[in-house]
Amino acid sequence: MNEYEEANNLKVSEEKESKAVKGFIWQAVETIVYFIGIFLCVILLQRYVVQPVEVDGRSMEATLYNADHLLLEKLSYRFSDPERFDVVVFRHYEDGVESYYIKRIIGLPGETVRIEDSVIYINGEVLVEDFGKDDTIRFSGIAIDEIIIGEDEYFVLGDNRNNSKDSRDPEVGLVSRESIAGRAWVRIWPLGDFGLIRHE
The residue type of 54 is E
Per annotation, catalytic residue among 59, 74, 164, 167: 59
The CA-based angle 102-104-110, given to 5 degrees, is 120
Q: Which of 74, 103, 164, 167 is catalytic?
A: 103
Distance of CA 122 to the CA centre of its chain: 27
Measured CA angle at 194 (ends 192, 197), to 5 deg: 135
Determine contact, residues 160/118, Cβ cutoff 8 Å: no
How far apart are alpha carbons 184 and 196 in whole angstroms? 9
Residue 62 CA, distance from chain mean position: 20
b/e per residue 94-123 (b: at least 16 CB within 10 A): eeeeeeebbbbbbbbeebebbbeeeebbbe
103 part of the active site: yes
Radius of gyration of the chain (CA): 28
**16 is annotated as an active-site residue:** no
Please count the helices (runs of H) and the strands (runs of E) in the chain: 1, 12
Q: Which residues are catalytic?
A: 59, 103
